[in-house]
Amino acid sequence: SVPVSEVVGVEEGRVHILPKKSVEDTDKDFTVFYVKRCRSGGSYGLLWTLGRTQFSCPSRVLRDQWIKDLRAAVKNYGPLRPRRLLVFINPFGGKKKGRKIYYSLVAPLFELAGISSHVIVTERANQARDHLLKKDLTGFDGVVCVGGDGMFSEILHGLIGRTQQEAGICENDPSAALQPCSLHIGIIPAGSTDCVCYATVGVIDPVTSALHIVIGDSQPLDVCSVHQALTHRYSVSLLGYGFYGDVLAESEKHRWMGPLRYDFSGTMVYLCNRSYAGVVQYIPADPVLSSPRDRTRCLSGCSVCSRSTDRLVRHPSDSGSLHKSHYGHFNSHSEDEWVTVEGRFRCVSLTCMSSSCPRSPLGLSPSAHLADGTGDLILVWNTNPLGFLKYLYRHTGAQDQFDLPFVEVHRVTAVRFSLPSSKEEGEYEEIDKQKTPDSFLCGLCCATPPPVSVWNCDGEILPVTEVFCRIHGQLLRLYARGIEDQARHNCSE
């Protein structure tokens, strides 16, 4: 049996949609298309494919009645299903197959489901963001990005910015209670990195993502605002200082290498053996709700995120009251409630999700949640090169990367990072020299290490050091449902 919520469409005759539409027109037959699940090999999520079942009726009148009733049931059962979408295609991302992926795999599914779309093929960076900030969005149910994490970031900034503009909220104010976006975002993976898609769906597959959009799945998502001076950025997957910032900065010098530049740059930065002095302050989240070391995973129907929805949304009938209690609590924090640590770090990372990907199936923080109003702060203190290599290697398997003496992880609601005073910086350097003798790796690739790093904000460089970060609970909604548990579904291989 197939639930009505997962019926994609009903067509007259004997019909095939993918890979190419074909119709055998008969008077008494009709075809029902639905979501079919199958295992995805090495991935933790489930692949969705387009299932198809054909029915024959004794008469054409009866067939037409069946089609009418089924279409009415699908329409009435799925009020959140999109009817009109704004689609942005990045033709340059990944292997430059964005156009082909959309028109050959995604557009036929939208047509089958009766979804109309306005397609824009971007020609420059930030075109999608600028369009969302300035153009009329009336009549659209959601925005779809065909590309990688960079394109998603553009749409994220555009939609959040547009929502705050219309609400009269200053985004540069770290204490402002940001309004959640009304339009959903759909992600069709077609980039060099598709971390957000992988962490929210569990697979990188355009058909799976398109089917989540078609049936109107809705997954809330936390967003981290990053404030520096009088500007701001938003992050959902990784805000990293030190190693991850250096890797991104190095990779920008080798864009001609394509996706391979990340492996090359990671190796070069590792060999440089750098660490940076800093002062990290954070507000701990309520440990009763969840912990970054509790070994649980945020899956579809996550109880932690569901409880957080009840906690964050007190008055659902009044959109202006969304998150008020959460942010009122944030604003009531005194300086005494900030926890401060300082020293030299290999990397400082903050993530609002597991940040899993095919190369790191469990991600930076395996027990992070998509929509609980918190982020996971990961501090990797200065250590020897082999120790740091062990930390990086553990991301590729099932070993606990936090079970190392130089690694800390904290569930937080806000973070501040600053540089120590000149005197303290000199003390850290002296201690560092005493603890870490010259290594054959140290300075192999850079004779004079830079005094500061840069921030990697979801793949964009922030050339600053001091930042203020704050987690905004369930600020966005994606056309997704979280990673489905394979054990709960009977799937074909």
The residues that bridge with 356 in the sheet, in sequence order, are none
Beta strands of 90-238 (E only): which ranges? 116-121, 142-147, 184-189, 219-228, 231-235
Q: What's the token pair of residue 445?
A: 């690739």
Q: Which two tokens stand for residue 342?
A: 């300082």
CATH of 84-216, one of 3.40.50.10330, 3.30.499.10, 3.40.50.2000, 3.30.70.20: 3.40.50.10330
Per-residue exposure over 85-108, b if at least 16 CB sit within 10 Å of its own CB, e if not: bbbbbbbebbeeebeebbeebbbb
- Among the listed residues 462, 437, 444, the one whose alpha carbon sits nearest the alpha carbon of residue 452: 462
pLDDT per residue over 290-335, tens digit each? 899 998 999 999 999 998 877 665 544 333 333 444 444 455 456 7
CB of 180 within 8 A of CB of 474?
yes
| Catalytic residue of the set 25, 29, 141, 149 | 149
Lowest mean pLDDT among 8-22, 148-162, 344-358, 465-479: 8-22
Quick one: average pLDDT of 340-361? 94
149 is catalytic: yes
Measured CA to CA, the distance from residue 221 to residue 29 in angstroms comes to 42
pLDDT at 447: 54
Q: How far apart are the first and last CA of the chain?
A: 19
pLDDT at 11 over 90: yes
For β-strands 407-418 and 116-121, DSSP reports them as unpaired
**Which band of pLDDT confidence, cut at 50, 70 and 90, is reported for residue 193?**
confident
User: Where does the pLDDT of residue 493 fall: very low under 50, low under 70, confident under 90, or very high at 90 and above?
Assistant: low
CATH class of 238-307+336-422+447-473: mainly beta
Q: How far apart are CA 463 and CA 72, in angstroms?
A: 54
Which is more confident, 108 or 95? 108
**pLDDT of 26-80, one tens digit each?**
889 999 999 999 987 666 789 999 999 999 999 999 999 999 999 999 988 877 8
Q: What are phi and psi of 293, to 5 degrees?
A: -115, 15
Residues facing residue 418 across a β-bridge: 279
Instruction: Tell me whether the CATH fold assigned to 4-77 matches the one assigned to 238-307+336-422+447-473.
Output: no
> Which residue, 194, 237, 218, 239, is CA-closest to 352?
237
pLDDT of residue 429: 52
Mean pLDDT for 119-148 is: 96
Q: Which amino acid is located at 446 in the chain?
A: C
DSSP assignment of 455-470: EEETTEEE--S-EEEE
Domain spans, the chain = 4-77, 84-216, 238-307+336-422+447-473
Q: What was the pLDDT predicted at 431?
A: 46
pLDDT at 333: 56
The predicted model scores a pTM of: 0.90
Residue 430 contacts by C-beta under 8 Å, 6 or more apart in sequence?
A: none
Give me the percent of the chain exceeding a pLDDT of 70: 88
Amino acid letter, residue 309: T
The candidate with the shortest Cα–Cα distance to 213, out of 184, 193, 239, 181, is: 184
| Phi, psi for residue 168 in degrees, rounded to 5 | 70, 30
Q: What is the mean pLDDT of the chain?
A: 88
Residues 4-77, CATH architecture: Roll (2.30)
254-258, 380-384, 443-447: least confidently modelled range:
443-447
pLDDT of 434: 43
**pLDDT 10s digits, 219-267:** 999 999 999 988 899 999 999 999 999 999 999 888 888 778 889 999 9
Closest alpha carbon to 481 in 67, 141, 186, 39: 186
